[in-house]
Structure 1
Amino acid sequence: MKFVLEVNVPDTEPASTAVRELSRVLRYWGGNLHHYALAPGTGETVYDSGYREVGRWTITESTGSTDS
């Protein structure tokens, strides 16, 4: 399996805000993964602290390579 997390952080955000938002996303979804079947096709929308959609995580088939 391959875990893919994509998060869009606006270039207009200060670096400290970007770090805070990315840290929140990683903590939140890292703590909630046990609620999901880690099988291809599983995924969810990712929201920032203002509940705006900023990305998505998904489980896909592994290609056998660790390269992206």
Structure 2
Amino acid sequence: MKFLLEVTMDDAALTKDPAGELGRILRYWGGNLRHYPLQPGDEAAVYDSEYREVGQWRIVAS
């Protein structure tokens, strides 16, 4: 299996503070990890600090 995280970096919040926003996204995702079985097909949207969708993560078969 592979974990894929895709984030659009040209979003307003990400252009202002890319390291801060990516860190927040990773912390948020890590905190919600327990809500997913992490099997191929699992996926969810990724949001910036202003709750705009900026990407997604997903689990795919290798």
TM-score (norm 1): 0.81
Aligned residues: 60
Residue 51 (str. 1) matches residue 44 (str. 2): no
More helix, by proportion: 2
User: Identity of paired residues, percent?
Assistant: 58
Sort the Cα spacing of 1:32 and 1:11 in 2 relative to 1 into closer, same or farther, 3 A. Answer: closer
Moved over 6 A (4+): none
Quote the RMSD (CA, aligned, Å). 1.5
TM-score (norm 2): 0.88
Q: Distance in 2 between matches of 1:50 and 1:11?
A: 10
Q: Distance in 2 between matches of 1:52 and 1:61?
A: 28
Unaligned stretches of 5+ in structure 2?
Answer: none
Partner in structure 2 of residue 4 of structure 1: 4
Look at both structures and tell me which one has the larger radius of gyration over its CA atoms. Answer: 1
